[in-house]
A and B are shown apart, each in its own frame.
Chain A
Amino acid sequence: MASVPAGHGSVPLPSSAPSPNGPHRSRSPAALLMRQLFRRRLVVLSFLIMVAILAVALLAPWITPFNPMKMDILGRLKAPSAAHWFGTDEYGRDVLSRVMLGARLSLLVGLLVVVVATLMGTLLGLAAGYIRPLDGVLMRLTDALMAFPDILLAIAFMAALGPSLYNVVLALGIVYTPRVARVVRAACLVVREMPFIEAATALGASTPRIVFLHILPNLISPILVQATFIFAYAILTEAALSFLGVGVPPTTPTWGNMIAGAQQYFQQADWLILFPGCAIVLTVLSLQIVGDGLRDALDPGSRRRNEMSVSLLIKGARVIDGTGAPWFPADVLVEGGRIAAIGPMLDAPDAEPLQAAGLFLSPGFIDAHCHDDLIQLRQPGRPEKVAQGVTTVVVGNCSFGLYPQSPESSAPLREHFGNLLGTVSDQETFADFAGYRAALDGRGTAINLVSLVGHAALRLAVMGWQNRAATAPEREAMATLLAEQLRQGAHGLSLGLVYPPSAWADRAELVRLAEVVAAHGALLTAHVRSYEGGLIASVDEFLDLLKAGGASGLLSHLQAAGKPYWGSLPRAVERLEIARKGGTDVSFDMYPYPAGSSTILQLLPPSALAGGVEALLARMADADGLAALRRAVEDGEAPGDAGWESKIRLIGWENVRIGGVSADELRELEGLSLAEVAATRWESPFDTLVRLIALDRGRTNIVMFQLAEVDLETALSHPLHMLGSDGLPRETGKPHPRAFGSFPRYLARAITGEGKLGLEDAVRHMTAVPAQRFGLSDCGLIRPGMVADLTLFTADVADRATFQDPTRPPHGITDVLVAGQFVLRDGGHTGARPGKALARA
């Protein structure tokens, strides 16, 4: 992990809170952290141990401290010492050297057994799985072989063949062949039914060609996993055979026959059995852990039932299918990551059952608007989103994104993004969508991601940080760069018309980019120029862009901010309705909180930001500059910024709260309003603001209480609305709770009747509506064939994140599946990472 959350207010691990469903579900954060470390680090560590043991085995003849065969009768049965770390045996031979040499044969036997059993088992399994008439005979034969306990069958073969290295390999090879054969047969039966095999058959491919070229490559994962376990078992069984005296003859040391040979002496010299025994345990344990890890990574089909299942039957849930239709009781069958069937009393004996009576089952929620670009990279488990039932997030909003960049734009891009979300490293911005996508998919993420191209990134890559209109060649360069991102799979373009540098674009530039968006059938979204007095004009500006460019649009977090403008939201919505009647495809998103959140620089007029934060700080240091700024913020006088209004004048200092700071020494200010901070310091709030900007270099996150409930409800219940949290996840501080509670809060509003919408409509606003908006044609509904992104929740679902305690996980979301895999189970994060960066179809 690039960053480990620490301190209060950090992004929490969701299951760290008392769980709603009883004691067995609670987990301490320490346990969860250990589990995460364990998950990956233990497997890696075990793998390294394996490599080390293999290296010792390979190099043993050259690196043993003593000649393992050299006897020294005077130095016999000496306890471990500086000279002989593991002591000496009954002939005075060095035990360490013999353990090292023993590794050679023990591992060689294990490896050869793996080769023999894998080869024979694969051939048998393929034959049984593909040539149906052979199946019955071969499987009965493996039944018969498996009717003997491993060790007994091996002993019997050794009795017949006589003790020798190759006979041990042959005997154990035969013993473990049925295990491989069964796994291969089972996997082969699945693969042979796949369309591409049918296609190969139809093309006239020969049976050997189909089996070895088409089927076998798809079976490598289960075979590899099985081989690892057989390696482990073979080492254990070989040790037992050697111990019994029917294994490898004692002339060559193996760990097993070393222990066997020490039987007469170990009562005085326990080191004789201690060290070879530890070598066996260490090797077998490492192999088993690597095997488990491999299985989790490669072979989802056989992953442990607790963590996922290929086939899952959700029984008796109240299904809310996403269309807005009333809930109905049904069983839902999930197979191969997709919804296979829906209906009453489904019968699927092979599927893992999940009792869901009394729970609501809905499509996984889609967060239509958030700023999770960076956190998706840094905390791919996304506990705070998973805990809310969110399975897909839309990032790259309000012109902020992590791509595209040119070599020169990397630094300004990082600064621009950093103003919103804290420091960004140069490893975290990307040349294009493909790079961002590869970074995400390489890490693996718990939930899916849809990405918009940030207009700021686009503009910075082409023309740098410049407060002027783009020239015609610059416009074309941006158009070309944008088209490339859209072709790679980005879902659209986001504007941030209040945020420089996006705010500096003229109509020609915006229309040109809208045309590119339209040409690719993508989406244009905008944080419009004003949500205050200029709201209607700003909406009209966006509608004009959509119409001129021919693009489909999504207006971000539609709201009427500032007391003087409360009540103007219905007029804004009406503009959208009229535009739709005129043929412009537009809708909007909004979060269910009366407060908004942004960067502290939003309190200043855009012209103050020309030249970046450094220029601003320089201007603030100058008395004239500071006075101008004070006039702008306190009195709203900003001659250089036509149409701009001072937030402070609209909502007052007491309604601007410090959310998250970047400088550690300012931590204590988090959660306080600017008015409160100013009062404790006996200074004017403006002076507080200026000092805060200077000390935190503009990287402060603020929460602004600025909306009327009635406006909020109008937005949230409007048919064109979809839910977007606008979450600004920061790793520290008291961020806006919307990143931690938007979805359960919206559900709770519907269930309690606080909101006008019913539950089914509320679900629709979080599933089918955004899925359709972003062109995600295979999710957002519960229908056969859809990807199984699903959320289960109780009827008393509710958010618990507040402005005072913004990171508390919600109550009542019990299970979440992404592509058929549990990411949340019984309220606990599973650690699974089935999510993808989705490319536009």
Chain B
Amino acid sequence: MLVYIVRRFAGMMIVMLLVAMVVFVIARVVPGDPAAVMLGSSATPEDIAALRGRLGLDEPLLTQFLLYLGQIVRFDLGESIFLNRPVAQALAERSELTALLTMMSVGIAMLIGVPIGILSAAKRGGLIDQTAVGLAMLAASVPSFWIGLTLIKYLAVDHAWFPVAGYGPPEADLLERMRHLVLPAIALGIPNSALILRFTRTSMLDVMSNDYVRTARAKGLPPLVVVLKHALRNAMIPILTVTGLTTAVMIAGAIVTETVFGLPGVGNLIVSAVLRRDYPVIQGALLVVSAIYVLINLTVDLLYAVVDPRVRY
């Protein structure tokens, strides 16, 4: 087990190294002088030269990359050009909202996906199943920002059941803040419920063809007990896996959703950084989000052994 964890961790470090390289390259493919681009048209040559020096742009590319790696290892993601604070700090300030939003969205996606997936598998081939699979496909075809705008229009503007936008005043308590996140979480959760639904269905169907399910049924247990107690437990592993993957996707999806609902989270930070060409923030956010993405995937793999005692590494 330990050997496996170490090996997986080493593999992850290689991927992260490559990720860092991609992030580094992205900032360097900017046409023209990155420093000039960052400072905009009003910058003086002196300002540009100073920034070039600060960013180490006069060094050879390899040296630049190694310097960059050195910074990352020290958790130094650089200074934001516009926010006047370290990128790491800016990210940390915004992370609570994004984390909360992601968790709520995952919750909603599971609330939709898992029960319908189970029902769909239990009634395999029936009308419910057909409809569920069709709806899943529909859900996967709808842009989340469009769902967001539609929800705002009908549930917040027309009926005022939920706040239209924002995250409430800073002094608001957690419950109030969560109320602001209900619509965003639905907008983000619906498209992502599709994958969870499909996986739940497939996984349940696989499990239900097993002997012990046949036995459970043969000894006369009510179908509900067989499905929920015997089958679902073992179907949970793939469901958890896909939930992990979906969580990672939703962190990125939050970028769009936060923009729709005017929420000051990490996604919002990224979008404004892109519009203002605040490269250190973009790079930092890219690194952090993809690191979380990779970490979640790794955690899911390791969780296998915890959830399923048969899995041994």
Interface residues of A (CB under 8 A from B): 15, 21-28, 30-32, 34-35, 38, 140-141, 143-145, 147-153, 155-162, 232, 236, 239-240, 243-246, 256, 259, 263, 266-267, 270, 273-274, 277, 280-281, 284-285, 288-289, 292, 304-306, 354-355, 357-358, 826, 828
Contact = CB atoms under 8 A, between A and B. Distances in A.
A277 B22 contact: no
Contact of A826 (B19, B21, B138, B209): B209
The binding surface of chain B is classed by DSSP as helix
Contacts of B19: 144, 147-148
Given A147-B15, A147-B19, A243-B256, A266 B153 contact: yes
Interface in B247-266: 248-249, 251-253, 255-256, 259-260
B100 interface: no
Given A232-B141, A240-B143, A243-B256, A355 B211 contact: yes
A50 to B, nearest CB: 13
B274 A236 contact: no
Interface core residue of A152, A259, A263, A355 (most chain B CB under 10 Å):
A152
Contacts of A38: 130
B7 interface: no
A143 to B, nearest CB: 5
22 contacts: A21-B217, A31-B129, A144-B15, A147-B19, A148-B22, A148-B252, A149-B290, A149-B293, A151-B256, A152-B286, A155-B270, A156-B286, A160-B26, A161-B30, A236-B143, A240-B256, A267-B153, A273-B153, A281-B141, A288-B137, A305-B206, A826-B124
* Interface residue tally on B, bucketed by range: 35 or more
B122 interface: yes
Interface stretch (B79-87, B109-117, B144-152, B175-183): B144-152
Contacts of A32: 125
Interface string B240-284: 000000001101110110011000000000110111010100100
A386 to B, nearest CB: 14
A259 B26 contact: no
B214 interface: yes
A244 B259 contact: yes
Given A27-B125, A34-B130, A240-B145, 20 more contacts: A140-B18, A141-B18, A143-B18, A144-B15, A147-B16, A147-B290, A148-B22, A149-B248, A150-B252, A151-B252, A152-B252, A156-B274, A240-B256, A245-B271, A259-B146, A277-B143, A277-B146, A288-B140, A305-B206, A306-B205
B274 A24 contact: no
A305 B255 contact: no
B271 A244 contact: yes
Given A144-B19, A239-B143, A357-B211, A244 B290 contact: no
B50 interface: no
Contacts of B205: 306
Interface core residue of A149, A259, A263, A357 (most chain B CB under 10 Å):
A149
B294 A147 contact: yes
A355 B137 contact: no
Contacts of A153: 286
A292 B290 CA distance: 30
A267 B160 CA distance: 12
Nearest to B215: A358
Interface string B8-38: 0000001110110111001101110000000
Interface in B206-235: 206, 208-211, 214, 217, 223, 226-227
A289 B137 contact: yes
Nearest to A826: B209
Given A143-B18, A240-B145, A23 B223 contact: yes
B228 to A, nearest CB: 13
Nearest to B286: A156
